[in-house]
Amino acid sequence: MAKKVFSVIGKRTWRKDGVAKVTGKIKFTHDISLPNMLYGRVLKSPYPHARVRSIDVSEAEKIGAICLTFKETPKVKYNERLVSVPEATYKDRTVLTDKPLYVGEPVAAVAAETEEKAQRALELIKVEYETLEPLMDPEEAMKPGKPLLHESVVVADRVVKVENNVACKLEISEGNIEKGFGEADVVVEREYKTNRRYHLQLETKTVICKPEIDGGVTVWCTTQSIHNTRILLHQIFGIPLSKINVKKAALGGSFGSSIQTNTIVPICVALALKARRPVKLVYSREEDMHDHCCYQVILRLKLGAKRNGLLTAGEMHVIVDIGGHQIQAYPLLGCMAGWWVSLYKIPNLKYKGIAVYTNKVPSCAMRGFGNPQVTWAVETLMDELAEKISMDPLEFKLKNYVGLGDIFWGQGPTVKSVITSCGVEEILRKGAEMVGWNKRGEPREKRGRVRRGIGMARGFHTSGAGGPLAGQTVDYSGATVKVNEDGTIDYLTALMDCGQGDYDTHAKIIAEELGVPLRNINVVLTDTRSTVYDVCTHASRATYVGGAAALKAAREVKGKLLEYASRVLDVNPNALKIKPDEETGQGVIYIEGVPGKSLTIGELASLARHKNWGTFAATVSLRQVKCPPHFTGYFVEVEVDTETGVVKPLRIVAGADIGTVINPGLAEGQMHGGFAMGLSMALHEDTPYNPESGDLTNKGFITDYKVPTAADMVDVEDFKVFFVDTHEPTGPFGAKGIGEGATNPVAAAVVNAIYNAIGVRFYELPITPEKIVKALREKEGK
Amino acid sequence: MGEIIEFTVNGLKRRIEVEPNELLINVIRGKLGLTGTKYGCGIGECGSCTVLIDGEPALSCLTLAIEVDGREIVTIEGIAENELNHIQEAFLDQGAVQCGFCTPGMIIMAKYLLNKKRNPTEKEIKEHIKGNLCRCTGYINIIKAIKEAAEKMQNSNVKAISKEL
Amino acid sequence: MYINRVNTKILPVEFKYFAPKTVSEAASILNRYGEEVRILAGGTDLLVKVKQRLIEPKYILNVKGIEELRFIEDRSGEIGVGAATKLSELVGSEIIKEKLPVLHEAAEAVGSVQIRNMGTIGGNLCNASPASDLAPPLLVLNTSVKAYSSSGERVIPLEKFFLGPGETVLKPDELLVEIKIPCPPEGTGMSFLKVARTSMDLAKANVAVAIKLDGNTVKLCRIAMGSVAPTPIRLFQTEKILLGSEFTDGKIERAVQTASEEIKPITDIRSTAEYRREVSKVLVRRALKKAYERVKEGEING
């Protein structure tokens, strides 16, 4: 395909919300206040498993607080994540509960004139609890005879009994694994345990609800989906959708923590409806850490290969410790299977996934939705296998990877499509050369107190959740493009930008298509009333799906512009083109090779008003029938101090195939940020529980939830990012996603680098200095 | 019982009543409506609430409002004399802004550093922003931006001097 | 119901606030309210504890405005530091950099630029964290501290100052006013090392060493560690191994072994007792060698 020359795509530009962000003027939900507003606080269970015997709010009410308990809130069972179809959505929670299932689960709530008063009121509420046996370990919780956290859950409209605390399960098999493993020359089987990470998105969960005179509500909240928030509130409170308006604000990071409607949103709505006044509820950091975390998994993986380097069979068994409620456990089980089978071609395979309830903070998606966990296991086991068959892991991976023309499971077994663009080989070859892969040496050759090692891992993530069949995942987006009377453009989308720069991506796509200067595109801060449905900003779909919707709307508008321009200029519309013109600051409609026959979009739009032709605008709703994988590869050099066990990253080479690069600066930023998050997954993060109290050991304080600081990162010149030259035929201007692929293989690359340095493999994350020192001493002892 | 305090915020004199247990962050964000200063953790670990007090960086979430009586405060809203300063421009040039929640604190620290030292090393830059957590960028583009700002400021100083000559 | 009492967005406790301008005013407030007063000498520890409801003071006494508590004085043979001197002032002080470089290094290892600009040396010591980065170097410098109360003042060796986590020998009416640090004898080599989870963290373990040699014979040896016992501690047994003997690898290894036996580490959220014991050996060994190198550098440069 001939290389296209773009006017704005691929150019480095200031992000559209940038000036507002660097001046502190942009409004996050945290920053919004309303007149006559009350401040909310949530009363949280101090026990991991209990039943509320009695609750007395009279003292709190005496000081003027509005109080709310489970007795007054709707009993509707809900699941806060509405990305899947009803048959795949397991509903198990209510607005407030009388049977808390984790330390921190909301039992009651108050609203008062000030935060201080709300706090006082909270402390005046008296609750009597009957404590129940807490189940803190998933394998323990599954044993027969253990108390059930949930007797039943609701799936679609069916009540489903829960057995042995198994929230849901999924089994998949293809081919014949007995035969497959029989054919293998080498079989390796390992058990992996990942950490229970916390998103640590910088803006804690926040919501403001304003009750309206018509019985409806206006809501601002930290969310990745304004429309799903609206639908959920409709499901819980029965308010007609037309009377619920969820408004956008800037979002201070998310990383999956707000794919679902936050727990505090329905609580705040209930408070506001009772108070008949606006209520703002901001979770403190320690409350936020008691609200959500990443899925922790125990993963047993077995792979078989022939000496010629071909995989013959694989078996994966996953136990997911989901905590007290299921937010998207069932889709997760499908996705984890999908991530596994989409890394390498395994002719015979068997997968079993079980999600188990425990008395811990509920887990939700976190950047990669199970993919970093799966990729860590697969990419490190592939290295082990390669070593056993004496093959360079890079060649071994290139021999087996799922690539061009292969089937890709973009969102579990029900969302499959054929891969139509792939830069895996180029990523690995180029990265290997840049990092000096062949000079990395063997662990046994390394000596000395401080040892260096280079590790590599590759990965991918889906770009959206579309497919040729409807599948179990809702995935479509919408866009409105409208030409103002001066030729500037208003763009309206329901899709949320969590910070990654989706609005800029869309604005560039529209500017490119319409041939107008980028500054003429105004991205409107929308709400659910002014937009058509977008499912959610997740699955790295904002560019590939949201961007495609923007492109479709722009294309329709362009057609109308050209049609009317052709009347004005008296030519065939097919002869017309549009290009940005610096002099007029407008898109100019012209005929190639015919000077003088032109007019600006502003002139045309103005004329359309005076001649009563109407507004040039289009609203579209779009589903992609694919979700192409974007591919990444990380080469990481680390230094391990064998005496202190401290691991320090030294050099990073990161390659990615994301199709056409629309925002180079922000795309590089995704790779940098994705690396930092993966590094932290490998080395630092975890939220262990105190077995006595059943609470987080760190009690929610980030003093003891360490993530890397600037001083823990490599130097600027030691972090190289490159994008390979690919074009996704189904993507807007050839583009795919990047956000999650940017982090998925990182932990595996770091772990492989540690192995290359010291010759020890670790099967439990994070790999702390404590574990390294212990392992090295044991190794020496042998 | 509240007490009246007087202080300067971004060049404007302010006189307000505060309670002894009111935190500076809540006065700045709530009473003064300057919401660019952010709450991120409340315990001094994330740096989102950083402001300058008499030119020195401080965590407004761990400062009593009553303590700043008679002092001069600069928040992100008062960081640039005109529209944008070199640091803010450099943050935009380098793609150093993603979600933007850490950005005000980062820019305050960059401003403090570059006021002190015109040509900081990468190590010094890292040391100055290591108390400011960012979960989006991996810090790389932020460090690049501070470097760019330092260069720009030096060049503009050279220009200013040559104009005088 | 701890979880519902914590609120880091506000200070969920009401108190009366004092900001005296002189030490004697401060002392009379302490005299009057005693145990119900908490001293604010930075805020980075105290206010966090108030938010976490670990303490609920009725009175808060801010000493940051007491000018007479903010100084760094070179008194030939001793450096005097006012208790309300900020850590950033320690880091920036030419006197400290030149005369007590080990204290400069340790002060730089505390928290972030913001934390150091708020926290004070007195606050750091009175907080009595076993993990204090300032305590080990001050201990090997034979520091003493001066406490002041309405009934008089007393000087306390730092070694005797800490009683346990968060506990010092200060009486409720006493105010820490000065840190008196004797300059180490000419030719002393010193070092400070720290191991932590990230670049901004409390120590899992830290160490400070001061040694002086005559030829290759150790004439002075002081070693102190943090985060390996209920308080920062001097390792007297370890010091004895080296004192008076040749500075050899063999001796160092004996000292290292003794150090690991002398400390009393525990397992907590930051690390394990086992690791602390192991890494303490590494830290002591490296710190000794680094201090030794500095002695040698000093000989060459001197």
Taking only the tens place, the pLDDT of each residue in A476-501 is: 999 999 999 999 999 999 999 999 99
Q: What pLDDT, on a 0 to 100 scale, did the predictor assign at position C299?
A: 81
Q: With bands split at pLDDT 50, 70 and 90, how would you rate the model's confidence at B165?
A: very low
* Residue-range domain boundaries for chain C: 2-62, 69-182, 189-301
State the smallest CA–CA distance between residue C47 and chain B in angstroms: 6
Window B:100-159, CB contacts with A under 8 Å? 100-104, 107, 122, 125-127, 129-144, 147
Structural domain includes residue A127:
no
Q: Mark whether A565 and A689 lie in a shared domain.
A: no
Contacts of A28 in chain B (CB under 8 A): 35, 38, 101
Please write the tens of the pLDDT for every residue from C27-36: 999 999 989 9
Helix, strand, or coil here: C172? coil
Whether residue A45 contacts residue A103, with contact meaning beta carbons closer than 8 Å, is answered with yes
Compare CB distances from A24 to B92, B104, B144 and report the shortest one's residue: B104
Count Cβ atoms below 10 Å from residue A166 Cβ, excluding itself. 16
Question: Does one domain contain both A565 and A543?
Answer: yes
Q: What is the pLDDT at residue B158?
A: 61
> Architecture of C69-182 per CATH?
2-Layer Sandwich (3.30)
B26-35, B75-84, C137-146, range with the lowest pLDDT: B75-84
**Helix/strand/coil for B96:** coil
Edge-first strand listing for the sheet containing A647-657 = A450-461, A630-641, A647-657, A719-723
Is residue A315 assigned to a domain? Answer: no
Domain assignment present for A427:
yes
pLDDT tens, residue by residue, A408-432? 999 999 999 999 999 999 999 999 9
**3-state DSSP call for residue A166?**
strand
What six digits make up the tokens of A300? 């047993």
ipTM greater than cut 0.95:
yes
- Rg from Cα positions in chain A: 27
> Beta strands C205-214 and C217-226: pairing type?
antiparallel
Q: Establish if A333 belongs to a structural domain.
A: no
Nearest CA in chain B to C201: B45
Q: Do A669 and B98 touch (CB under 8 A)?
A: yes
- Is residue A301 domain-resident? no
Give the closest-approach CA distance of A255 to chain B in angstroms.
9
DSSP B82: S
Which pLDDT score, from 0 to 100, does residue A700 have? 98
- Calculate ∠ Cα A487-A491-A494, nearest 5°: 170
| Torsion sign across C-alpha atoms A715, A716, A718, A723 | positive
Q: Supply the range of the domain harboring residue A720.
A: 392-462+626-781
B66 shares contact with chain A (CB less than 8 Å): no
pLDDT at A2 over 90: no
Determine the pLDDT at residue C260: 97
Within a domain: A444: yes
Q: Does residue A701 share a domain with residue A613?
A: no
Distance CA A261, CA A222 (A): 8
Task: Answer whether C69-182 and C189-301 agree in fold.
Answer: no
Letter for the amino acid at C156? I
List beta partners, residue A244: A217
Chosen from C54, C112, C200 to mutate, greatest number of chain B CBs within 10 A: C112
Residue B82 has pLDDT above 80, yes or no: no
Specify the pLDDT at position A474: 97
- pLDDT given at position A145: 94
Whether A561 and A606 have beta carbons less than 8 Å apart is answered as no
C160 CB burial (10 A radius; 0-12, 13-18, 19+)? exposed
Q: Read off the pLDDT of residues A747-776 as tens digits, 9 standing for 90 and up.
A: 999 999 999 999 999 999 999 999 999 999
Question: Please, is C202 exposed, middle or buried when counting C-beta atoms within 10 Å of its C-beta (0-12, 13-18, 19+)?
Answer: buried
A494 with A538, same domain?
Answer: yes
- Residues A578 and A668 reside in one and the same domain: no
Q: Are residues A539 and A671 in the same domain?
A: no
Cis omega before residue A766 (within 30°)?
A: yes
Give the mutation candidate from A116, A117, A767, A776 for the C interface (greatest C CB count, under 10 A). A116
Cα C197 to Cα A44: distance, rounded to the nearest angstrom: 30
Report the largest interatomic distance among the alpha carbons of chain C, rounded to a whole angstrom: 63
The residue-averaged pLDDT of A47-73 equals 98
pLDDT band at A83 (very low <50, low <70, confident <90, very high): very high
What sign has the CA pseudo-torsion A319, A414, A660, A496? negative
pLDDT digits (tens, 9 = 90+) for C253-285: 999 999 999 999 999 999 999 999 999 999 999
Asked whether residue A663 falls in the same domain as residue A745, the answer is yes
Distance CA A480, CA C10 (A): 42
Q: What is the amino acid identity at position A197? A: R
pLDDT, residue A143, reads 97
* Number of domain units in chain A: 2
> Using one digit for the tens of pLDDT, what is the confidence trace for A426-458?
999 999 999 999 999 999 999 999 999 999 999
pLDDT tier at B1, thresholds 50, 70, 90: low
Q: Is residue A486 packed enough to be buried (19+ CB in 10 Å), middle (13-18) or exposed (0-12)?
A: middle
Mutate one of C37, C113, C127, C199 to test the B interface: name it (highest B CB count within 10 A). C113
Spell out the residues 6+ positions from residue A173 whose beta carbon is closer than 8 angstroms to its own: A349, A350, A351
Q: Which of C140, C183, C148, C172 is nearest to C291 (CA)?
A: C140
Residues A522 and A643 occupy one common structural domain? no
**Residue C205: which H helix or E strand, with range?**
strand C205-214
pLDDT confidence of residue A430? 98
Query: Which residue, A622, A643, A678, sits at the end of a domain?
Result: A622
Residue A659, CA distances (Å) to A272, A424, A732, A755, A779 in order: 46, 12, 10, 32, 45
Q: What is the mean pLDDT of chain A?
A: 97
State the sign of the Cα–Cα–Cα–Cα dihedral A169, A175, A181, A185.
negative
The alpha carbons of chain B give a radius of gyration, in whole angstroms, of 16
- Do A642 and A748 fall within a single domain? yes
Give the pLDDT score at A782. Answer: 58
Residue entry with tokens 């994988």? A629
Which of B24, B64, B125 has the most C C-beta neighbours within 10 Å, making it the best mutation to test the interface with C?
B64
Q: Residue A600's pLDDT is what?
A: 97
| DSSP-derived pairing of the beta strands A166-174 and A106-112 | unpaired
DSSP state of A361: P
CATH number of the domain within which A542 lies:
3.30.365.10
What distance in Å separates the CA atoms of residue A60 and residue A122, rounded to the nearest whole number?
7
- Rounded-to-integer distance, Cα C54 and Cα C130, Å: 17
Hey, is the C-beta of B50 within 8 angstroms of any chain A C-beta? Answer: no
Q: Which residues contact B162 (CB under 8 A, 6 or more apart)?
A: none
CB contact under 8 A, C279 and A684: no
* B/C interface, count of CB pairs below 8 Å: 83
B44 CB neighbours in chain C (<8 A) are 44, 48, 111, 114-115
CATH number given to C2-62: 3.30.43.10
The mean per-residue pLDDT over the stretch A337-349 comes to 98
Q: What is the pLDDT of residue A17?
A: 96
Helices (H), chain C: 2-5, 23-33, 46-51, 87-92, 94-99, 101-108, 113-118, 121-126, 135-140, 236-242, 249-262, 273-301
Q: What's CA A559's distance to the chain center, in Å?
A: 35
pLDDT band of B155, cuts 50, 70, 90? confident
Contact yes or no for C5 and A123 at CB 8 A: yes
> What pLDDT is stored for residue C1 in this prediction?
67
The residue type at A254: S
Evaluate the CA torsion angle C266, C268, C272, C277 in order and state its sign: negative
Which residue from A497, A499, A457, A386 is spatially nearest to A679, judged by alpha carbons? Answer: A457
Q: Is residue A468 part of a domain?
A: no
Rounded-to-integer distance, Cα C144 and Cα C142, Å: 7
Residue A1 binned pLDDT confidence (cut-offs 50, 70, 90): very low
What would the mean pLDDT of A554-566 be, rounded to a whole number?
A: 97
| Topology of domain C189-301, CATH | Enolase-like; domain 1 (3.30.390)
Q: Catalogue all structural domains in chain B, each as residue range(s) with its CATH number.
A: 3-78 (3.10.20.30), 86-164 (1.10.150.120)
Interchain contact B68–A (C-beta under 8 A): no
Q: How far is CA A291 from CA A103, A195, A728, in A?
A: 9, 17, 38
Residues in chain C: 302
What the block records as the tokens of B74 is 């600069």
Position A431 scores a pLDDT of: 98
Residue A390: is its pLDDT beyond 70? Answer: yes
Let me know whether A417 and A559 are in one domain: no
Asked if the model's pLDDT at residue B148 lies above 60, the reply is: yes
Question: What percent helix, strand, coil does chain A show, rounded to 5?
Answer: 30, 30, 40
Boundary (domain end) residue, out of A622, A643, A674: A622
Q: Is the domain of A422 the same as that of A551?
A: no
Domain boundary among A622, A642, A675: A622
Q: Mean pLDDT over residues A332-342, rounded?
A: 98
> How far does B26 lie from chain A, in Å, by closest CA?
10
Q: Would the pLDDT of A115 be above 90?
A: yes
Output the tens digit of pLDDT for each of chain C's 302 residues: 699 999 999 999 999 999 999 999 999 999 999 899 999 999 999 999 999 999 999 999 999 999 999 999 999 899 999 999 999 999 999 999 999 999 999 999 999 999 999 999 999 999 999 999 999 999 999 999 999 999 999 999 999 999 999 999 999 999 999 999 999 999 999 999 999 999 999 999 999 999 999 999 999 999 999 999 999 999 999 999 999 999 999 999 999 999 999 999 999 999 999 999 999 999 999 999 999 999 998 887 65
Q: Which of B49, B48, B82, B52 is nearest to B68 (CA)?
A: B52
Location of structure tokens 């010759």:
A759
Q: In angstroms, rounded to a whole number, what is the distance separating the alpha carbons of residues A245 and A87?
A: 27
Q: Is 60 exceeded by the pLDDT of residue A617?
A: yes
